[in-house]
Structure 1
Amino acid sequence: MTQISNHFENTLENAPETALEWHSAGLGAVLATVVQTWGSAPRRAGSMLVISGDGRMQGSVSGGCVEAAVVFEAQEALQDGQHRLLDYGVSDEDAFAVGLACGGTIQILVEPVGSAMPLDLLQQLVAARAGRQALAYEVNIESGVRRLLHSGYPDRMRRDRSGMEEDGETFVAVYNPPLRLICVGAVHIAQALVPMARIAGYDPVLIDPREAFASTDRFPGEVILDDWPDEAVAKLGLDARTALVLLTHDPKLDDPALQAALAAECCYIGALGSKRTHAKRVERMLAAGFSEAQIGRIHGPIGLDIGAAGPAEIAVSILGEMTAVLRGKAE
């Protein structure tokens, strides 16, 4: 089975790792980050694009409107080693030239790695992300002073919101640990849910001790743990950036992982089954000593009620509910 990995699959969210990789390979690397937006900007503050010295890029700062202009500025920044603040909007003639005519304005910070952004600071950031540590990256736009903070900006960290502070000089980029999906039960729904979740920014892990289900033929390239769920979640650890989805219908497999999640701070807990099945699950959790408030965190039956039929549509409903809970939109 595939070993536990800290590799972040989602190419839109691993800009720091990519920048370090390209810099270390001698290609040169520049990080471009949206620091402020006004109006109908296509990407929110904190969105990132990484550009190499040979012109390749990964990520997005505008949905395609200004990337070409940012790449040009990034090459210039690699030459002079200075950070720069770029503004694009419909009132700017240059913005019309690159196609930003959607009624919004964006401000982008461009930082060449190894000069404006110190290499050791980027290495610390990547190491912290690999260890699932939450960090805030603080940049003073005027002075160029940068630092990583393990504490501070609690409201930004909780809301996962990067942006400029009221002083107009300090930009704070929130680096919460990457989202992770732990899926107990390598069933048909999981075959649809896992790739969908990766596209949405989750790093998925499958847990199933049943060899017939948890096979690389059914889940090529996926991280699969064939341990019993309680042992597997203990290895992985559960935190506020982890969603747990239980799909086996078997209390022997689901309940140990569920109990671990109820004692932790998972951002989402969902369990497959009918209302009758969930009622029995609630009884078991009460008997195990969990409070009604703790048990109330379980989303069961799992997923949004969209009239889903078949594994793929059920997976859509689950991912939709995960997103709603994560963004504070769930009822």
Structure 2
Amino acid sequence: MAWLTKVEESTYGDIQLLVPVSNRQLRTDSPGMMPKMLNLLRFRLVEITKACSLKLASGSPHGINKVVLLPSSTNRNTNEYGVLAIFHEGKLGYWRFDEKEWKFIDETSFNYDDIIVYRGQAYVVDRLGTIYWINSSLNLIQYSPPLYGYGSQKTLVESDGDFYVVDRFFHGERRTWNDELHSDVAYPFRYLPICQAKTVSIKVYKLDEEWGTWVNISSLGDKVFVLGNECSFSVSAKDFSGRKGNCIYFIDPLDASRQGELSGGDARVCDLSSGRISKVANFPGHSCMLWPPPNFYC
């Protein structure tokens, strides 16, 4: 039997079990909750992907939506490391560890949705569905035509060497940039109100790189897409004891707290075969793929 779970390694090398599809640590101080220690001799962990997050000593930073390590190939000196980040309002920023302030890569646009490292290169997608490659000079080079999907938020997913864009349609407004409050990128860790957006529909598109066109995908087959704050990835349901595929796991902006920490019971799933979207706990055919299961922490 196999399950999808999530662990976090601290700076001291300790391993902390997290709620799947979220950032929240599992409580171990209440009856019926997780044991304080897991015997890894009884469980075998197989790494699917790695992700990084940006945190302050006092907790998670406000205003940062996603962070990726800048690939070494884009650094002039491989001993210097940097991060690329997308702010909640859609701004694309860059910070190098030997610098004190953030810098904007694109001073004119507030419309970036997601960023990933793919084949050793950094790529970003905007709200029109255009993918850009970030070159060694930190310039944006257009990689795909615009998708012109009319969804509210686009997420990049790599699956079997192909580029996919998951386009989520929201009921409710996303956060918007406020120049008066947020003009200083040197201090991006600011208070933001809770976003009230809720996903009501999802569409999936695949990039045909040979022809440079987008293809509407009606079925993922046995694939499962997981959209996370730190990273998004694809797995095969066949690797999880025949669990049900053709679905997308995600967390709604509506379910995020001011600190960006998420309740495991709020994890949602979209069954693409029916188009139904609900909390994972309401999908018996899907909830058994996660461990601990949603009813454990609802």
* TM-score (normalised: structure 1): 0.25
Q: Larger % of strand: which?
A: 2
> Highest relative contact order (Cα 8 Å, sep 6+), 1 or 2?
2
Q: Larger % of helix: which?
A: 1
- Structure with bigger gyration radius: 1
